Amino acid sequence: MLGWIKNYARVSIEKPHLGRAFFFFLLPFILTLVVAFLIGISVNVMNVGYNIFLALVAWLLSAVVLFVVVHLFKGHEVSGKFKGIFAGLAFRYFFWFLLMLLVFVVLFFAMPEFFQIVAKAQKAQTADEAFTILGNNADQIAGKNALVLFASFGIIMLGVAAMLFLTLYLVYELINFCGTGSPRQSLLILFIWIALQGLILALIGTV
Protein backbone atom coordinates (compact mmCIF):
# COMPACT_ATOMS: atom_id res chain seq x y z
CA MET A 1 0.00 0.00 0.00
CA LEU A 2 2.78 2.44 0.91
CA GLY A 3 4.61 1.61 -2.30
CA TRP A 4 1.45 2.27 -4.28
CA ILE A 5 0.99 5.65 -2.58
CA LYS A 6 4.63 6.57 -3.19
CA ASN A 7 4.29 5.69 -6.87
CA TYR A 8 1.05 7.69 -7.12
CA ALA A 9 2.81 10.71 -5.60
CA ARG A 10 5.67 10.41 -8.08
CA VAL A 11 3.38 10.03 -11.10
CA SER A 12 1.20 12.93 -9.90
CA ILE A 13 4.19 15.27 -9.78
CA GLU A 14 5.73 14.07 -13.04
CA LYS A 15 2.54 13.53 -15.08
CA PRO A 16 -0.48 15.00 -13.25
CA HIS A 17 -3.86 13.65 -14.33
CA LEU A 18 -6.68 16.02 -13.32
CA GLY A 19 -9.44 13.72 -14.59
CA ARG A 20 -8.36 10.96 -12.22
CA ALA A 21 -7.90 13.51 -9.44
CA PHE A 22 -11.47 14.77 -9.75
CA PHE A 23 -12.73 11.20 -9.82
CA PHE A 24 -11.07 10.55 -6.45
CA PHE A 25 -12.42 13.85 -5.16
CA LEU A 26 -16.02 12.94 -6.03
CA LEU A 27 -15.93 9.38 -4.64
CA PRO A 28 -17.01 10.26 -1.06
CA PHE A 29 -19.94 12.31 -2.34
CA ILE A 30 -21.01 9.55 -4.71
CA LEU A 31 -20.90 7.04 -1.85
CA THR A 32 -22.96 9.37 0.33
CA LEU A 33 -25.67 9.58 -2.32
CA VAL A 34 -25.65 5.81 -2.89
CA VAL A 35 -25.94 5.04 0.84
CA ALA A 36 -28.72 7.62 1.26
CA PHE A 37 -30.62 5.99 -1.60
CA LEU A 38 -30.15 2.48 -0.20
CA ILE A 39 -31.40 3.33 3.29
CA GLY A 40 -34.21 5.59 2.10
CA ILE A 41 -32.91 8.99 3.23
CA SER A 42 -33.82 12.00 1.10
CA VAL A 43 -30.95 14.20 -0.09
CA ASN A 44 -30.95 17.97 -0.42
CA VAL A 45 -29.23 18.57 -3.75
CA MET A 46 -28.39 22.17 -2.84
CA ASN A 47 -26.65 21.06 0.36
CA VAL A 48 -24.68 18.40 -1.50
CA GLY A 49 -23.61 20.95 -4.12
CA TYR A 50 -22.58 23.41 -1.41
CA ASN A 51 -20.55 20.76 0.41
CA ILE A 52 -18.81 19.81 -2.84
CA PHE A 53 -17.98 23.48 -3.42
CA LEU A 54 -16.51 23.86 0.09
CA ALA A 55 -14.49 20.66 -0.31
CA LEU A 56 -13.17 21.89 -3.65
CA VAL A 57 -12.11 25.21 -2.09
CA ALA A 58 -10.39 23.34 0.76
CA TRP A 59 -8.59 21.10 -1.74
CA LEU A 60 -7.41 24.08 -3.78
CA LEU A 61 -6.27 26.06 -0.73
CA SER A 62 -4.41 23.08 0.74
CA ALA A 63 -2.58 22.65 -2.57
CA VAL A 64 -1.70 26.37 -2.71
CA VAL A 65 -0.39 26.30 0.86
CA LEU A 66 1.69 23.18 0.25
CA PHE A 67 3.12 24.63 -2.97
CA VAL A 68 4.08 27.90 -1.23
CA VAL A 69 5.68 26.18 1.78
CA VAL A 70 7.63 23.73 -0.41
CA HIS A 71 8.74 26.63 -2.62
CA LEU A 72 10.09 28.49 0.42
CA PHE A 73 12.35 25.54 1.21
CA LYS A 74 13.20 24.16 -2.24
CA GLY A 75 13.03 27.27 -4.39
CA HIS A 76 12.72 27.06 -8.16
CA GLU A 77 12.81 23.25 -8.15
CA VAL A 78 9.08 23.45 -7.41
CA SER A 79 8.28 25.71 -10.35
CA GLY A 80 5.64 24.20 -12.61
CA LYS A 81 4.67 21.52 -10.10
CA PHE A 82 1.52 23.08 -8.64
CA LYS A 83 -0.70 21.01 -10.93
CA GLY A 84 1.04 17.85 -9.71
CA ILE A 85 0.60 18.83 -6.06
CA PHE A 86 -3.07 19.64 -6.66
CA ALA A 87 -3.68 16.32 -8.42
CA GLY A 88 -1.67 14.37 -5.86
CA LEU A 89 -3.61 15.70 -2.89
CA ALA A 90 -6.82 14.36 -4.42
CA PHE A 91 -5.81 10.85 -3.37
CA ARG A 92 -6.78 11.88 0.18
CA TYR A 93 -10.39 11.67 -0.88
CA PHE A 94 -9.92 8.05 -1.90
CA PHE A 95 -8.77 7.33 1.67
CA TRP A 96 -11.84 9.16 2.97
CA PHE A 97 -14.02 7.11 0.63
CA LEU A 98 -12.54 3.88 2.00
CA LEU A 99 -13.13 5.04 5.58
CA MET A 100 -16.75 5.93 4.84
CA LEU A 101 -17.24 2.54 3.19
CA LEU A 102 -15.73 0.84 6.25
CA VAL A 103 -18.06 2.72 8.61
CA PHE A 104 -21.08 1.83 6.48
CA VAL A 105 -20.18 -1.87 6.36
CA VAL A 106 -19.45 -2.05 10.11
CA LEU A 107 -22.72 -0.33 11.02
CA PHE A 108 -24.66 -2.44 8.53
CA PHE A 109 -23.50 -5.71 10.10
CA ALA A 110 -23.17 -4.62 13.74
CA MET A 111 -26.21 -2.31 14.02
CA PRO A 112 -28.45 -2.71 10.94
CA GLU A 113 -31.34 -1.03 12.77
CA PHE A 114 -29.27 2.17 13.00
CA PHE A 115 -30.09 3.11 9.40
CA GLN A 116 -33.80 2.45 9.90
CA ILE A 117 -33.82 4.72 12.95
CA VAL A 118 -32.05 7.51 11.05
CA ALA A 119 -34.48 7.17 8.14
CA LYS A 120 -37.45 7.44 10.53
CA ALA A 121 -35.95 10.47 12.27
CA GLN A 122 -35.41 12.27 8.99
CA LYS A 123 -39.08 11.92 8.07
CA ALA A 124 -40.11 13.68 11.28
CA GLN A 125 -41.96 16.96 10.87
CA THR A 126 -40.04 18.81 13.61
CA ALA A 127 -36.65 18.59 15.31
CA ASP A 128 -38.32 17.65 18.61
CA GLU A 129 -40.12 14.78 16.92
CA ALA A 130 -36.85 13.61 15.37
CA PHE A 131 -35.09 13.63 18.75
CA THR A 132 -37.99 11.74 20.27
CA ILE A 133 -37.69 9.04 17.63
CA LEU A 134 -33.95 8.79 18.20
CA GLY A 135 -34.42 8.65 21.97
CA ASN A 136 -37.14 6.01 21.82
CA ASN A 137 -35.07 3.77 19.59
CA ALA A 138 -31.76 4.31 21.34
CA ASP A 139 -32.46 1.30 23.54
CA GLN A 140 -32.21 -0.95 20.48
CA ILE A 141 -28.59 0.09 20.02
CA ALA A 142 -27.77 0.29 23.72
CA GLY A 143 -29.09 -3.23 24.16
CA LYS A 144 -26.57 -4.65 21.76
CA ASN A 145 -23.83 -6.93 23.00
CA ALA A 146 -21.14 -4.73 24.55
CA LEU A 147 -18.43 -6.75 22.81
CA VAL A 148 -20.03 -6.10 19.41
CA LEU A 149 -20.23 -2.35 20.07
CA PHE A 150 -16.68 -2.20 21.37
CA ALA A 151 -15.32 -4.16 18.41
CA SER A 152 -17.24 -1.97 15.95
CA PHE A 153 -15.92 1.19 17.57
CA GLY A 154 -12.39 -0.23 17.58
CA ILE A 155 -12.52 -1.12 13.89
CA ILE A 156 -13.75 2.37 12.98
CA MET A 157 -11.03 4.03 15.10
CA LEU A 158 -8.38 1.89 13.41
CA GLY A 159 -9.79 3.00 10.07
CA VAL A 160 -9.55 6.65 11.10
CA ALA A 161 -5.95 6.19 12.26
CA ALA A 162 -5.03 4.42 9.02
CA MET A 163 -6.62 7.18 6.92
CA LEU A 164 -4.70 9.89 8.78
CA PHE A 165 -1.40 8.01 8.49
CA LEU A 166 -1.83 7.32 4.77
CA THR A 167 -2.79 10.94 4.13
CA LEU A 168 0.33 12.23 5.90
CA TYR A 169 2.49 9.71 4.07
CA LEU A 170 1.02 10.83 0.74
CA VAL A 171 1.81 14.49 1.46
CA TYR A 172 5.30 13.54 2.67
CA GLU A 173 6.02 11.75 -0.60
CA LEU A 174 4.60 14.62 -2.66
CA ILE A 175 7.03 16.91 -0.86
CA ASN A 176 9.92 14.53 -1.58
CA PHE A 177 9.17 14.40 -5.31
CA CYS A 178 8.94 18.18 -5.58
CA GLY A 179 12.72 18.53 -5.44
CA THR A 180 15.84 17.59 -3.53
CA GLY A 181 15.95 17.77 0.24
CA SER A 182 16.54 15.74 3.36
CA PRO A 183 13.87 13.64 5.14
CA ARG A 184 14.11 16.06 8.07
CA GLN A 185 13.31 18.97 5.77
CA SER A 186 10.35 17.09 4.29
CA LEU A 187 9.00 16.38 7.79
CA LEU A 188 9.36 20.05 8.73
CA ILE A 189 7.43 21.10 5.62
CA LEU A 190 4.80 18.48 6.44
CA PHE A 191 4.33 19.78 9.99
CA ILE A 192 4.03 23.37 8.76
CA TRP A 193 1.46 22.28 6.19
CA ILE A 194 -0.53 20.40 8.85
CA ALA A 195 -0.71 23.53 11.02
CA LEU A 196 -1.78 25.74 8.12
CA GLN A 197 -4.22 23.07 6.92
CA GLY A 198 -5.86 23.16 10.34
CA LEU A 199 -6.37 26.92 10.01
CA ILE A 200 -7.89 26.47 6.55
CA LEU A 201 -10.36 23.85 7.78
CA ALA A 202 -11.27 26.05 10.74
CA LEU A 203 -11.96 29.01 8.47
CA ILE A 204 -14.02 26.96 6.01
CA GLY A 205 -15.94 25.43 8.90
CA THR A 206 -17.18 28.89 9.86
CA VAL A 207 -18.62 29.53 6.39
- Which has the minimum average pLDDT: 35-49, 65-79, 130-144, 164-178? 130-144
pLDDT tier for residue 181 given thresholds of 50, 70 and 90: confident
Is the pLDDT score of 91 beyond 80? yes
Q: What is the pLDDT of residue 154?
A: 85
pLDDT digits (tens, 9 = 90+) for 149-161: 677 788 889 999 9
Secondary structure of the chain in HEC code, one letter for each residue: CHHHHHHHHHHHHHCCCHHHHHHHHHHHHHHHHHHHHHHCCCCCHHHHHHHHHHHHHHHHHHHHHHHHHHHHHHHHHHCCCHHHHHHHHCHHHHHHHHHHHHHHHHHHHHCCHHHHHHHHHHCCCCHHHHHHHHHHHHHHHHCCCHHHHHHHHHHHHHHHHHHHHHHHHHHHHHHHCCCCCCHHHHHHHHHHHHHHHHHHHHHHHCC
Is the pLDDT score of 166 beyond 80? yes
pLDDT digits (tens, 9 = 90+) for 108-150: 777 766 666 666 655 555 555 555 655 565 555 555 556 666 7
Q: What is the pLDDT of residue 41?
A: 74
Q: What is the pLDDT of residue 175?
A: 93
- Which has the minimum average pLDDT: 14-23, 36-45, 65-74? 36-45
Q: What is the pLDDT of residue 137?
A: 59
pLDDT digits (tens, 9 = 90+) for 16-41: 899 999 999 999 999 988 888 877 77
Is the pLDDT score of 197 beyond 70? yes
